[in-house]
Amino acid sequence: MNYADQKVSVKEKMSFGLAGLGQNMIYNFSATYIMIFYTDMMKLLPAAVGTLMLVARVWDAINDPIMGSIVDRTRTKWGKLRPYLFAVPIPMAAFTILTFYVPDLSMGMRLLYAYVTYIVWGMIFTVSDVPFWGLSAAMSQDPKERMSIVSFARILCNLGMAISIIIPPLIISAYGGGKEGYLISAALMAIFGGGLFFLAFFNTKERVSNYGEKTTLLGNFDLVKKNKPLVLLQTSRMLGAFRMGLGAAGIYFAKYNLGDEAFFTLLGAILIFSMIAAIFFTPFLYKFFTKKQLYMGSLIFGAIAHFLMFILGYGNMPLVFGLLFLAGMGLGMNDVVMYAMVGDSVDYLEHKSQKRAEGICFSVHTFTTKLQTAFATFAIGWVLTLTGFIENVAQTATSLNGIFWLISLLPAIASVLSLIPMFFYDFTEKQHKDMLTEMHGAQ
């Protein structure tokens, strides 16, 4: 089958997207609320939590290339990606709930409990994430179809993010801001999100199946080194790591700077709505700009919005809301283009090495995502500590400024740093099309 014939039905795109919605309900709930849950409900020190986040995420990130290698060596009648999407939803839901439970233990044992549950949760999530996003490249090699698959999925993923950001503060507030609200929120996200994730197994198809010879883990690292577009893209993302801390920092901003964590529902809604709007427009913009231009443009857009927020302060909240909307537009465009570029890098590597390795390419992507989160949350913990943060009390001016920098200055700097590697990114749309034609032909 040539790549121009690899069309994907609306039902399949919808199922893939709804699975992403469910996965993002779980992941973004944890990413947004876990830090404040640990500091304010478990009463763990911010620096200890930041260190936990770093250790857990670095360990979790190490697992990604291992998982990618396992996926690329898998051979079943269901494909190499889909079997994992059937196995993972139930354990992923169970450990999400356990992570947001406060055990009646000493402080040291609570910290140990947090380490064990959070690290296991991260390992299970790796088993879901690597094959799920690898599937987006295996469903079709047609660039237009792939952009459509990813765009549709990212819209629904962001709806999942919206649910996980908007609903929990209302539940937590209804339970007086106590630990019960966090546990009930976790259970809702886990059960509904895990159920939707099953759709990625039942209603999708792997059309691209050029397995080639099995390679070792070390052999896969050699493959990654040959994948220049992927290496540059992930380097760009790592330099912009602090852009991943916006949600976790935002809940502190709402609770302490604005005086009520329920405000995070409004902040989250603005951010998510703007991201979804940008994702809708991105396929249209792709008719006039390359993926590289859209990716770099989104970073510039975000940098300007965050710098303006830092300069103008948060005395005028409607202005802050407007700048957050603009920042979200940059994030949304960046989000969908980024996944499409990783998919293109799979094709690049196949052309260069005659090996198709969705598992290892997307595992590098998820590896970077987790390292981004690790460094962002580590930095949040230390900024809070260094500025004198104390949980559940009125903060000093220094601490309030530190929290505000977490959503303004640091994301702006990170966006600028992300631009640097992309000046060396030279894999063009024409090169991609010529490679696909050479490998598979086109009508």
One DSSP character per residue, 359-401 reads: HHHHHHHHHHHHHHHHHHHHHHHHHHHHTT--TTSPPPHHHHH
How many domains does the structure of the chain reveal?
1
Residues 102 and 114 sit within 8 Å (Cβ to Cβ): no
Rounded to the nearest 10 degrees, what angle do helices 291-312 and 317-353 cross at?
150
How are the residues of the chain apportioned to helix, strand and coil, as percentages rounded to the nearest 5?
80, 0, 20
- Supply the pTM of this predicted model: 0.69
CATH at residue 77: 1.20.1250.20
Is residue 2 in some structural domain?
no
Rounded to the nearest 10 degrees, what angle do helices 317-353 and 143-174 cross at?
140
Query: What is the span of the domain harbouring residue 86?
Result: 8-440
Is residue 423 in some structural domain?
yes
Q: What is the pLDDT along the chain (443 residues), one digit of tens a residue?
A: 454 456 778 888 899 999 999 999 998 898 888 888 998 899 988 888 888 888 887 787 677 777 777 877 777 778 788 888 998 999 999 999 999 999 988 888 999 999 999 999 988 988 888 888 888 778 877 777 877 887 788 888 888 888 887 888 889 888 888 889 999 999 999 999 999 999 988 888 877 665 555 555 566 667 777 889 999 999 999 998 888 777 778 878 888 888 877 777 788 788 888 888 888 888 888 888 999 999 999 999 999 999 999 999 888 888 888 998 998 888 888 888 888 898 888 888 888 877 767 777 777 887 788 788 778 878 888 888 888 888 778 889 899 998 999 889 999 999 999 999 999 999 988 888 888 888 765 44
**Nearest residue to 380 (alpha-carbon basis) of 369, 367, 389:** 389
Is residue 3 in some structural domain?
no
Using a 10 angstrom Cβ sphere, with 0-12 exposed, 13-18 middle and 19 or more buried, the burial of residue 397 is: exposed
